Structure 1
Amino acid sequence: MPEQQDHYRQFCREVPDLPVFAQPWYLDAVCEGGTWGAAVAQHGEQPAAALPYFLKRKGPFRYITMPHFCKHLGPYLHPDFRELKFEHKFYEQLIGLLPAVLAFKQEFHPSATNWLPFCWQGYRQTTRYTYQLGLAEGLNAVYGGFNRNVRRNLKKAEKALRIRTDMAAEDFFNVNRLSFERQGTAPPYSRELFLRHDDALARHQSRQIFCAEDAGGRIHSAAYLIWDGRASYYHLSGDDPELRASGAGLLLVWEAIRYTHEVLRLPVFDFEGSMMPNVEAIRRQFGGRQVPYSRVWKYHSKVIRMLDGLVRNSQ
Structure 2
Amino acid sequence: MPAAADRYRAFCRTAPDVPVFAQPWFLDACGEGGGWDVVLAEENGCVVAALPYFYKQKGPFRYATMPPFVKWLGPYVLPEFRGVLKKEHLLLEELIKQLPPLAAFKQNFYPSTTNWLPFYWQKFRQSTYYTYRLLSLQNLSQVEAGINRNIRRNVQKAREQVQVVHDLGPERFYALNKMSFDRQQLPMPYSWAQFERHDAALAAHEARQFFFAVDAQGRVHSASYLIWDQQAAYYHLAGDDPALRDSGAGILLIWEAVRYASEVLGLDCFDFEGSMLPAVERIRVQFGAVQTPYFFVWKYTSRAFELLEKLRP
TM-score class normalised by the smaller sequence? over 0.9
Amino acid at match of 1:72: W
What secondary structure does 2:3 align onto?
helix
Q: How does 1:117-266 map to 2 (within 5 A)?
A: 117-136=118-137, 138-266=139-267
Residue 289 of structure 2 is matched in structure 1 by: 288
> Are the equivalent residues in 2 in contact too, given 1:210–1:224 (CA < 8 A)?
yes
CA deviation digits over 1:42-96, x for unaligned, max 9? 1121101000000110111100000000000000012332222221001000001
Deviates more, 1:270-279 or 1:222-231: 270-279
> Are the equivalent residues in 1 in contact too, given 2:63–2:105 (CA < 8 A)?
yes
Identify unmatched segments of 5+ residues in structure 1: none
Deviates more, 1:62-71 or 1:7-16: 7-16
Residue 58 of structure 1 is matched in structure 2 by: 58
Residue 29 of structure 1 is matched in structure 2 by: 29
> Are the equivalent residues in 1 in contact too, given 2:137–2:143 (CA < 8 A)?
no
Output the CA distance in 1 between the equivalents of 2:167 and 2:13: 32
Amino acid at match of 1:19: P
What secondary structure does 1:216 align onto?
coil
Residue 70 of structure 2 is aligned to residue 70 of structure 1: yes
What secondary structure does 1:10 align onto?
helix
Q: Shift of the alpha carbon at 1:206? A: 0.0
Q: Shift of the alpha carbon at 1:160? A: 1.0
Amino acid at match of 2:90: K
What secondary structure does 1:306 align onto?
helix
Amino acid at match of 1:58: K
CA deviation digits over 1:265-311, x for unaligned, max 9? 00000000111111111111111100000000000112222233344
Q: Shift of the alpha carbon at 1:144? A: 1.2
Residue 94 of structure 2 is aligned to residue 106 of structure 1: no
Residue 13 of structure 2 is matched in structure 1 by: 13
> Are the equivalent residues in 1 in contact too, given 2:227–2:236 (CA < 8 A)?
yes
> Are the equivalent residues in 1 in contact too, given 2:232–2:271 (CA < 8 A)?
yes
Output the CA distance in 2 between the equivalents of 1:45 and 1:255: 45
> Are the equivalent residues in 1 in contact too, given 2:223–2:238 (CA < 8 A)?
yes
Output the CA distance in 2 between the equivalents of 1:280 and 1:307: 32
CA deviation digits over 1:180-236, x for unaligned, max 9? 000112211110010000000000000000000111100000000000000000000
Amino acid at match of 1:108: F
TM-score computed with the length of structure 1 as normaliser: 0.96
Amino acid at match of 2:251: L
Q: Shift of the alpha carbon at 1:137? A: 5.2
What secondary structure does 1:133 align onto?
strand
Amino acid at match of 2:71: K
What secondary structure does 1:275 align onto?
coil
Identify unmatched segments of 5+ residues in structure 2: none
Output the CA distance in 1 between the equivalents of 2:74 and 2:194: 22
> Are the equivalent residues in 2 in contact too, given 1:14–1:78 (CA < 8 A)?
no
What secondary structure does 2:26 align onto?
helix
CA deviation digits over 1:125-168, x for unaligned, max 9? 01010000013452211111111111111111111110001121
Q: Shift of the alpha carbon at 1:13? A: 2.0
Output the CA distance in 2 between the equivalents of 1:198 and 1:136: 25
Residue 85 of structure 1 is matched in structure 2 by: 86
Residue 300 of structure 1 is matched in structure 2 by: 301
Residues 24 and 162 of structure 1: CA distance in aligned 2, closer, same or farther (over 3 Å): same
What secondary structure does 1:291 align onto?
strand
TM-score computed with the length of structure 2 as normaliser: 0.97
Amino acid at match of 1:172: F
RMSD: 1.1
% identical equivalent positions:
57
Deviates more, 1:8-17 or 1:237-246: 8-17
> Are the equivalent residues in 2 in contact too, given 1:233–1:270 (CA < 8 A)?
yes
What secondary structure does 1:249 align onto?
helix
Output the CA distance in 1 between the equivalents of 2:102 and 2:52: 15
Aligned residues: 311
Deviates more, 1:184-193 or 1:131-140: 131-140
Residue 40 of structure 2 is matched in structure 1 by: 40
Amino acid at match of 2:173: F
What secondary structure does 2:179 align onto?
helix
What secondary structure does 2:160 align onto?
helix
